A and B are shown apart, each in its own frame.
Chain A
């Protein structure tokens, strides 16, 4: 697996595409892990009207600025649509959660669009406890 470094998150900020209420516990964990490591997170969800502990933007248009890196937590179909929009908005790096939401064809499409990709759970790099051990053996962290 490719090593996930801080440099991947240009300007120490990241878009979080697919911050949902249904998986809020996990989304919040990831949000906290990023932000406790000095990365400013901009969560986006255009469908969910949920009750969140962090500000979740309805669309990319609502953001004060669009980071160059995105973390995508969507199913394969939605991820495919999101990638095009992200490329248009200037996103140059995408971190996908796993190969279920980013198969080979999607990774190739990203590459055609000039987007660098990594498939890894951010908790392996920025989480604590067991996540750290997992990340170490997966090669995501040093």
Chain B
């Protein structure tokens, strides 16, 4: 069964496009005040575009798909072709949607901006007047409302505005009046920012749009010249985006995600569901190295951060590592937005952690021992450990990212940190090492976080491995029948009704199902790539998997995916992308 983040962006492509549409309508307001008949013309153009788009989408997807993108096309088209007779506008919008969008496969698959295709088509029969807008102070706030859309293609947008402004200055035409009525911001913020047809590539975006903006003003039919320029840039973008780029090389994204329910000392409840603790053989003296390793292995200490691997393997790999300097990093960063129990541990079990570290020091001579915590989670650092504050972003606690931060050491996804002399252990694992080695206690229980998302309450719960999830939910009187379980809020799966707590479960939540609407319309916003800590071309991998050919995604290295869930969380099409990447990863591995 697939995992998915329990929290996801509230925004969707449809919301963004509805925002663009609202701004486009505001651009029309001054002309509607002058000539109210234009309202009816726009209503007709809008109605035709919506009906046409809905019908074609219904035929293609065999279901109703939101047609707000067609409304945006109608809005851009109508603003630029307002002077054309209605029948010409109706033909133009039909050409825009059919030739500009649907013959390519619909929203997200078109190469050219559909409204520009409509403008080119209309220009064959009519002369499209320019400037497109009559100057009105009413347009000034609309310019401001257009600015947020720059964020979708900032280079192309700013490049266009710079190019057009430079041409105005060059021609000694620059004035606020011209800046508004010539539609500098309209084109820059609403046309050149179309993520589907304009590349994210900064060089192409900037250079191409400066050229389009500058050159457009040098022609007599400016609207046509600008449309030709945009379409040319669209074509270059399509070519550039289809070049065999395998990775999105950039710095690790720093996505700040607020805790679903924040930890509050004294308020976050601790619940112990492990009656009848197993009797322990308390050994007075600390055992020797051989005995320590034996106890860690025999007592079944495992990675409590979610990996669940036997810790003894990690420790022995570090012992055997040929690296001259060895390092221990205790990971208490707990960057997942659902988890709280590591925070509880560093506040309540620091003595045990300290003793666990002493045990490990008996086995390995570490050059450094670091306790990595989230910035602001100040705790007193025990002697012999260095406190390292990690900025609050997700996934700051991922092993390789943490090693890079703490030690400045870059490891590839193929490297095994312990073999490179770096032992990274979750803080609960260090506590378990203490219990196993000093108390000779079998590790048959663990701490997990339980979140009741409806009631906004959370619990740190000590449970036995093998405990029924349903029993935990019943004991804590969780408010929803929907239960989710997994490594954290970013990697949950739906509880099926018969599972128990195992080594991989850190988190249980009850609440509403997150809304993944699995829209077939990817807007190529690029958020998934931009937020992937591994720099994967997530949208391309997902597209290939959706075609039913997961093996073909191999060239995009899906095996690098750490299943952090960031891509699914940000996808504006509401798609569980990490599940698709995981499917490709599984195919590559098999």
Taking A25-B519, A32-B513, A36-B512 as contacts, is the C-beta distance between A52 and B1 under 8 angstroms?
A: yes
Q: Which residue of A lies closest to B583 (CB)?
A: A51
Q: Which residue of A lies closest to B1 (CB)?
A: A55
Taking A35-B481, A35-B482, A55-B494 as contacts, is the C-beta distance between A28 and B579 under 8 angstroms?
A: no
How many contacts A-B (CB < 8 Å)? 47
A19 at the interface (CB under 8 A from B): no
**With the chains together, A12 CA to B480 CA distance in Å?**
12
Q: Once the chains bind, are A25 and B482 in contact (CB under 8 Å)?
A: no
Q: Once the chains bind, are B516 and A28 in contact (CB under 8 Å)?
A: yes
Contact for A55 among B496, B516, B579, B583, CB less than 8 A: B496
**B498: which A residues are within 8 A, CB to CB?**
64
Contact for B494 among A26, A54, A64, CB less than 8 A: A54
**A38: which B residues are within 8 A, CB to CB?**
480-481
B520 at the interface (CB under 8 A from A): yes
Q: Once the chains bind, are B518 and A25 in contact (CB under 8 Å)?
A: yes
Q: Which residue of A lies closest to B575 (CB)?
A: A25
A40 at the interface (CB under 8 A from B): yes
> Nearest Cβ in chain B — how far from A101, in angstroms?
14
B418 at the interface (CB under 8 A from A): no
B517 at the interface (CB under 8 A from A): yes
Q: Mark A15-45, 1 if CB is under 8 A from B, else 0.
A: 0000000011110110110011011100000
Q: Mark B3-15, 1 if CB is under 8 A from A, else 0.
A: 0100000000000
Taking A35-B481, A36-B482, A38-B481 as contacts, is the C-beta distance between A53 and B516 under 8 angstroms?
A: yes
**With the chains together, A53 CA to B4 CA distance in Å?**
8
Q: Which residue of A lies closest to B493 (CB)?
A: A53
Which residues of B in the span 1-31 have a Cβ within 8 Å of any Cβ on A?
1-2, 4
Q: Once the chains bind, are A24 and B518 in contact (CB under 8 Å)?
A: yes
Q: Which residue of A lies closest to B494 (CB)?
A: A54
Q: Once the chains bind, are A52 and B481 in contact (CB under 8 Å)?
A: no
Q: Once the chains bind, are B517 and A25 in contact (CB under 8 Å)?
A: yes
**With the chains together, A39 CA to B482 CA distance in Å?**
9
Q: Once the chains bind, are B2 and A52 in contact (CB under 8 Å)?
A: yes
**With the chains together, A39 CA to B480 CA distance in Å?**
10
**With the chains together, A55 CA to B493 CA distance in Å?**
9
Size bracket of the A interface = 20 to 34
> Nearest Cβ in chain A — how far from B583, in angstroms?
5
**B519: which A residues are within 8 A, CB to CB?**
25
Q: Which residue of A lies closest to B580 (CB)?
A: A51
> Nearest Cβ in chain A — how far from B575, in angstroms?
9
Q: Once the chains bind, are B2 and A31 in contact (CB under 8 Å)?
A: no
**With the chains together, A2 CA to B519 CA distance in Å?**
30
**A51: which B residues are within 8 A, CB to CB?**
2, 579, 583
B515 at the interface (CB under 8 A from A): yes
**A28: which B residues are within 8 A, CB to CB?**
516, 518
B244 at the interface (CB under 8 A from A): no
**A29: which B residues are within 8 A, CB to CB?**
517
B576 at the interface (CB under 8 A from A): yes
Contact for A35 among B1, B513, B517, CB less than 8 A: B513
**B494: which A residues are within 8 A, CB to CB?**
53-55
B497 at the interface (CB under 8 A from A): yes
**A12: which B residues are within 8 A, CB to CB?**
481
Q: Which residue of B lies closest to A42 (CB)?
A: B497
> Nearest Cβ in chain B — how far from A25, in angstroms?
4
Which residues of B in the span 467-523 have a Cβ within 8 Å of any Cβ on A?
480-482, 493-494, 496-498, 512-513, 515-520
**A31: which B residues are within 8 A, CB to CB?**
513
**With the chains together, A51 CA to B517 CA distance in Å?**
16
Q: Mark A34-71, 1 if CB is under 8 A from B, else 0.
A: 01101110000000000111110000000010000000
**With the chains together, A54 CA to B493 CA distance in Å?**
7
> Nearest Cβ in chain A — how far from B281, in angstroms?
40
Q: Mark A108-133, 1 if CB is under 8 A from B, else 0.
A: 00000000000000000000000000
Q: Which of B1, B481, B493, B583 has the most C-beta atoms of chain A within 10 angstroms of its own C-beta?
A: B481
**B579: which A residues are within 8 A, CB to CB?**
51, 53
Q: Mark B242-262, 1 if CB is under 8 A from A, else 0.
A: 000000000000000000000
Q: Once the chains bind, are A25 and B520 in contact (CB under 8 Å)?
A: yes
**With the chains together, A25 CA to B520 CA distance in Å?**
9
Q: Once the chains bind, are A64 and B518 in contact (CB under 8 Å)?
A: no
> Nearest Cβ in chain A — how far from B468, in angstroms?
13
Which residues of B in the span 218-250 have a Cβ within 8 Å of any Cβ on A?
none
**With the chains together, A23 CA to B498 CA distance in Å?**
26
**With the chains together, A55 CA to B483 CA distance in Å?**
13
B456 at the interface (CB under 8 A from A): no
Q: Mark A63-103, 1 if CB is under 8 A from B, else 0.
A: 01000000000000000000000000000000000000000
Q: Once the chains bind, are A54 and B481 in contact (CB under 8 Å)?
A: no
**With the chains together, A58 CA to B4 CA distance in Å?**
22
Q: Once the chains bind, are A26 and B516 in contact (CB under 8 Å)?
A: no
> Nearest Cβ in chain B — how far from A81, in angstroms?
23
Q: Which residue of B lies closest to A32 (CB)?
A: B513
> Nearest Cβ in chain B — how far from A129, in angstroms?
10
**With the chains together, A17 CA to B1 CA distance in Å?**
18
**With the chains together, A64 CA to B495 CA distance in Å?**
14
**B63: which A residues are within 8 A, CB to CB?**
23, 26
Q: Which residue of B lies closest to A22 (CB)?
A: B62
> Nearest Cβ in chain A — how far from B481, in angstroms?
6
Q: Mark B31-64, 1 if CB is under 8 A from A, else 0.
A: 0000000000000000000000000000000010
**B481: which A residues are within 8 A, CB to CB?**
12, 35, 38-40
Q: Once the chains bind, are B576 and A53 in contact (CB under 8 Å)?
A: yes
**A40: which B residues are within 8 A, CB to CB?**
481
Q: Once the chains bind, are A32 and B515 in contact (CB under 8 Å)?
A: yes
**With the chains together, A132 CA to B515 CA distance in Å?**
16
19 more A-B contacts (CB under 8 A) besides A24-B518, A29-B517? Answer: A23-B63, A25-B519, A26-B63, A28-B516, A32-B515, A35-B482, A35-B513, A36-B482, A39-B481, A40-B481, A51-B579, A51-B583, A53-B4, A53-B494, A53-B516, A54-B1, A55-B1, A55-B494, A55-B497
- A-B contacts, 20 of them at CB < 8 A, read A23-B63, A24-B518, A25-B517, A25-B518, A25-B519, A25-B520, A29-B517, A31-B513, A36-B482, A36-B512, A36-B513, A38-B481, A39-B481, A52-B2, A53-B1, A53-B494, A53-B516, A53-B576, A54-B1, A55-B496
Give me the 4 closest cross-chain CB pairs, A-B, nearest first. A25-B518, A32-B513, A55-B496, A53-B2
